[in-house]
Amino acid sequence: MDAISVIRTKRDRGELSDEQIDWVVDAYTRGEVADEQMSALAMAILLNGMNRREIARWTAAMIASGERMDFSSLSRPTADKHSTGGVGDKITLPLAPLVAACGAAVPQLSGRGLGHTGGTLDKLESIPGWRALLTNEEMLSVLDGVGAVICAAGDGLAPADKKLYALRDVTGTVEAIPLIASSIMSKKIAEGTGSLVLDVKVGSGAFMKTIEDARELASTMVGLGTDHGVRTVALLTDMSTPLGLTAGNALEVRESLEVLAGGGPADVVELTLALAREMLDAAGLKDADPAKALADGSAMDVWRRMIAAQGGDPDAPLPTSREQHVVPAPASGVLTRLDAYDVGVAAWRLGAGRARKEDPVQAAAGVELHAKPGDTVTAGQPLLTLHTDTPERFAYALQALDGAYDVAAPGTEFTPSPVVLE
């Protein structure tokens, strides 16, 4: 077998055989297939697609590239959630302790932000002392003792995906449904969760810009999970505007704490509860009441124990930015659009995100929203507050926000998109 014949097959719109897929994924993980060869193959897959058999085999080969975790010693059913990524998507933070408070074990292996989308680990690292890197034994012990753990995936889990994802990120080959589906599902299946709820984002701030593409991604991932014995369901949710009122690391932790304290923005609460219900259903805990666990403080209690178990101080003040810049509403009327992608790029440029994997992030940087689509605004009132420790970034962030919002005449009828689309 050789890489060039595999690349040619896909370049010429052929179907890759099981043997070709097993060989190329394994040889790439071992370093026998070069980055430039794999990037040519990834581009051929992006352009010419893969059928369900090819995607299933590719996923299985990525799982086989590393270890599989085993949660069978736990007394509770396991339930995990994965979001395909968005702007202001802090849902994992309140959701994991909430679902644990309702009786499930939540092994939440999470990632870092790259580009305009935020990462759960970057957000949690704004809590003084909190550690993302746990050994498998530590992860299992937090999961067993607290009921929820949010940590980085170990190096041994789907190493083929780690290598391939980094390569796709720098070769314009992220947005391929077969590659996204196999990347996400290989990690989730190798992680060993019994059930999985997928939050597939649709809109300007998401990888999937149209509902048709999101549906295809969702059904591909549900099929992969189901075939591997993981009870998998998917929600398609809106990512045309940021979730909640914040995009940025510490800013989003603060907002998540409001949700855990029984308050917080309506869209964040709605999506947290919708995903919690699906996770509890999939885990066989149909009688649990997540709204009650938010209201009575039991979810907050799990949060505090979960943060402390990973070295964090749940009572420590969160970092605040050294400099702020207010963007005023340009006119009086109804805010009809506040673009998720543009806000995400602004937060990234303020220092909340990174351009390269190894870059540091600023804990306090980001964008605070003072209005959401559908709200009435008055000319000159604060629409956004930009936060950073490095004020020379303001001009570059403001460029990203040029054309990011529309205000229609006062009294214009406008119905914002629902949070859960399907």
Please give the backbone phi and psi of residue 229, each rounded to the nearest 5 degrees, phi first.
80, 15
Task: Tell me: does residue 239 bind ligand URA (CB under 6 A).
Answer: no
Phi, psi angle pair for 168, to nearest 5°: -60, -35
For residues 138 to 177, the per-residue mask of contacts with ligand URA, x marking binding by CB under 6 A and - elsewhere, is ---------------------------x--------x---
Cβ within 8 Å of residue 286, ≥6 positions away: 280
Residue closer to ligand URA (CB basis): 174 or 377: 174
> Which amino acid, one-letter code, is at 406?
D
Cβ 65 vs Cβ 158: under 8 Å: yes
Binding residue for ligand URA (CB under 6 A) from 16, 33, 98, 180? 180
Contact flags string 39-78 toward ligand URA, x per CB under 6 A: ----------------------------------------
Q: Which of 116, 168, 228, 231 is catalytic?
A: 168
- Nearer Cβ to ligand URA, position 112 or 393? 112
184 binds ligand URA (CB under 6 A): yes
Task: Please answer whether residues 306 and 96 qualify as being in contact, where contact means their C-beta atoms are separated by less than 8 angstroms.
Answer: yes
CB atoms within 10 A of CB 118: 32
Contact 142, 309 (CB under 8 A): yes
Task: Determine, following the binding rule CB under 6 A, whether residue 23 of this chain makes contact with ligand URA.
Answer: no
317: exposed, middle or buried (C-beta count within 10 Å: 0-12, 13-18, 19+)?
A: exposed
Would you count residue 338 as binding ligand URA (CB under 6 A)? no
If one asks whether residue 253 binds ligand URA (CB under 6 A), the answer comes out as no
**Shortest distance (Å) from residue 84 CB to ligand URA:** 6
Which tokens hold the place of 420? 């859960």
Q: Which two tokens stand for residue 266?
A: 């309506």
Report the residue number whose CB is nearest to ligand URA. 183
Residue 83 binds to ligand URA (criterion: CB under 6 A) = no
- Sites of contact with ligand URA (CB under 6 A): 84-85, 165, 174, 179-180, 183-184
